[in-house]
Amino acid sequence: MKRIAAALLFVCLAVPANATEAGWALLRNGGQTVLLNHANAPGAGDPANFDIEICRTQRNLSERGRHQARRIGALLAARAAPVEEVYSSRYCRALDTANLVFGEANVETLDALNMVTGDEERDREAFQSVLELINSYTGSGNLFMVTHPENVSEWAGIRSREGEAIIVVPDEEGLRVAGRVVLN
């Protein structure tokens, strides 16, 4: 019984590590599209006085989140993952993550990466904009899109962790997950 439990524990721990290494291999080769979850921002939702232009009215990165973002940037550089284009949601937690990972001069905001709203028409239009960007991307480096876990779940059909990179490719149903890299 102990051997079975040990074997199950090994399999559970090895699968994410293998998935992460396979994801790193894809990133090192370049030409990938990556949905990057923003780093740690405690809580859920945003306050009632939310204003996308004013960070103090939003849920923001914690000190842990800022540390995670800097670490992600260092990991991408150390693992030689070429970065060509970076887009971010306008929410401060996503934009701060992008700026800490990639540097402010390299980040462009894209409203389509803002959180899904529940407004079907708006969310469909946003997803179509993201798909168009992915389909038109022809760079040799990687295309990074810093967004929210709700978007990753909606668009790629998986739950992702804070600071996790989800490598996606378009297919006839939307986006398919090609790899994952746990960065925190």
- CATH architecture assigned to 2-181: 3-Layer(aba) Sandwich (3.40)
Residues 107-145: tens digit of each pLDDT: 999 999 998 888 899 999 999 999 999 999 999 999 999
Q: Which pLDDT score is estimated for 19? A: 57
Average pLDDT, the chain: 86
Q: Which pLDDT score is estimated for 137? A: 94
Handedness of CA 87, 93, 99, 101 (dihedral sign): negative
Q: Which pLDDT score is estimated for 57? A: 87
For the chain, domain boundaries: 2-181
Question: How would you class 120 by CB atoms within 10 Å of its CB: exposed for 0-12, middle for 13-18, buried for 19 or more?
Answer: exposed
pLDDT-based confidence at residue 47 (cuts at 50, 70, 90): confident
Q: How far, in Å, CA of 30 to CA of 81, rounded?
A: 7
Q: Which pLDDT score is estimated for 99? A: 97
Residues 4-45: tens digit of each pLDDT: 444 333 333 333 445 578 899 999 999 999 999 999 998 887
Q: How far, in Å, CA of 80 to CA of 92, rounded?
A: 27
Residues 86-108: tens digit of each pLDDT: 999 999 999 999 999 999 989 99
